[in-house]
Amino acid sequence: MTQSVFVLNGPNLNLLGTREPAVYGSQTLADVEQICAAACQRHGLELVFRQSNHEGELVDWIHEAGRLHAEGKLRGLVLNAAAYTHTSVALLDAVKGTGVPMIELHISNVHAREAFRHHSYLSAAAKAVMCGFGVAGYGLAIDAMAGWKA
């Protein structure tokens, strides 16, 4: 059975390529999806790639990922919750409640930025946290996840 990897992206990540390119680079969300697809293909994994500006939609997708994980159909979740990282107990509760293995991902090094970005609600439920690798971090996260016991 082929397993899937969910890659979920939070608010404003649809603006990649034009939003603060000095911080986030010039690659678009479509470029990120291609990076993720290539990484999944290398490891024989299926990709589910989504972006939403709405917290509840992200929660619903985490629940979906959790159901697939319980059925053995999901390797894990790469979650770039963007600003919700620093505000959302709902996303934390969704990850904890579903038990889905999750890598928290940030394009920029959040620890080199504003103080409010130094706190993450999600880290407490993450199997790993990645930041500062730019969009290449997505591929690195999937490579790492591929090595997890199926």
Set out the domains of the chain in order of their start, with CATH numbers.
Answer: 4-146 (3.40.50.9100)
pTM value? Answer: 0.92
How far apart (Å, rounded) are the C-alpha atoms in residues 112 and 150?
35
Burial (CB count <10 Å: 0-12, 13-18, 19+), residue 96: middle
- Residue-wise pLDDT for 92-120, tens only, equals 999 999 999 999 999 977 766 667 666 78
Please choose, from the candidates 70, 73, 80, 68, the residue with its C-alpha nearest in 3D space to the C-alpha of residue 29.
Answer: 80
φ and ψ at residue 15, rounded to 5 degrees? -95, 5
Q: What is the pLDDT of residue 108?
A: 79
Active-site residues, by number, are 24, 106
150, 120 contact by CB (below 8 A) = no
- Residue-wise pLDDT for 39-57, tens only, equals 999 999 999 999 999 999 9
